[in-house]
Structure 1
Amino acid sequence: MSSSSTFPRARKPKLGYDTDQVEEFLRVARRAFDGTPAPGDPEVSAEKIRLTAFGMQKGGYSTAHVDAALERLEDAFAARERQIAARLHGDEAWLREARTTAQVVSNRLARADGERFERVNPLVLGYSVKEVDRFAERLSRYFSDGWPIGIDDVRTVTFRAQRGGYRESQVDLVLDAVVDVMLAVR
């Protein structure tokens, strides 16, 4: 497949992902998944795929299409990682780790509104406290009552900015942990 046809391009005047970076990442991920990494290839895992970021360029790849492909790739790596862990340590060990992570996340989400995460300086922008707390309630119901929420809901949630809001890095880490748990129990 040529690099010009892997994904649709971003419509002008919007920026898209740097095509060379995307193509190189996909080559490395493909080799990692096939078990044939090249010397010097970075390690690829479901978590690393989730944290991957690309530069932007005019005429780059459509971000929506690349993001959707990365989500599918993350799912594939997570499933394989679970199979390997289950083979090495047994299903119970894998599920025990997922339960431990779920409990840590549940404890964080059970905190009172406005106190779930560290707040940034009142002059600095963070995530909207009300929006994060509202989403945290949905996640709490998922963990406590099996309330239906999709993994894509967690992956794609966005929050408005607010001065003195929640520290973005803390919220993002918890959301990543939620995705890990959801992938583990699929």
Structure 2
Amino acid sequence: MDATFPRARKNQLGYKTTEVEDFFQRARRAYDGRPQREDPELDAERIRLTAFSMQKGGFSTAHVDAAMERLEDAFAYRERQIASRLHGDDAWLAEARTTAQVVANRLARPEGERFDRVSVLALGYNVREVDRFAERLTRYFRDGWPIAIDDVRGVVFTAQRGGYRESQVDLVLDAVVDVMLAVR
């Protein structure tokens, strides 16, 4: 598979082309059910967590990120189809409901206390911004208010000394994406 993407300008950073092309070749083999022995196992979650090195004049990050989201969606859909055949839709949806409840419980915590804080000397996510986004997610889970999966995938928080621990916030956002993909 030739995974060619538009390139960033020569003096701008983009994703390292060899890494991106290698990844998409492995992804194609995995999706087609023909992985090579040395290929790591690939699923929707691992696609979401994949990161590429940067290089000047590399592939456009926006184009690669969009392709990665489509690839994640395709793997998630296939995973759901397989799980539904093996265990039935009820089991799949029960797991999604359990994850949604764990996320909803986290988001129901009081403002400023939803996640652990980093030291006042360290940078974390801006507490007010995260709490504001958490309210949107709470309305999604509690009231069914619409929110796009791309809004969750693309949310960006500014840094703040003593802010929320980034890894915890990111894990919850990943769980939200998992739930959204599961109930599509």
Match of 2:60 among 53, 59, 62: 62
Q: Which runs of 5+ in 2 are unaligned?
A: none
In structure 1, distance between residues paired with 2:176 and 2:20:
26
Aligned to 2:20: 22
The alpha-carbon deviation at position 2 of structure 1 amounts to 4.8
Aligned to 1:149: 147
The one-letter amino acid paired with 1:68 is: A
CA contact (8 A) 2:2 2:21 kept: no
In structure 1, distance between residues paired with 2:171 and 2:69:
17
In structure 1, distance between residues paired with 2:113 and 2:59:
39
In structure 2, distance between residues paired with 1:139 and 1:58:
37
Ranges of 4+ aligned residues in structure 1 off by more than 3 Å: none
CA contact (8 A) 2:106 2:114 kept: yes
In structure 2, distance between residues paired with 1:11 and 1:19:
13
Q: Are 1:138 and 2:159 an aligned pair?
A: no
The alpha-carbon deviation at position 39 of structure 1 amounts to 1.2
Aligned to 2:113: 115
In structure 1, distance between residues paired with 2:31 and 2:14:
26
Per-residue displacement from partner, 1:105-157 (whole Å, max 9, x unpaired)?
A: 00000000000000000000000000000000000000000011000000000
Q: Percent identity?
A: 78
Count of residues in correspondence between the two structures: 184
- Superposition TM-score, scaled by structure 2 size: 0.98
Q: CA RMSD in A?
A: 0.9
Aligned to 1:179: 177
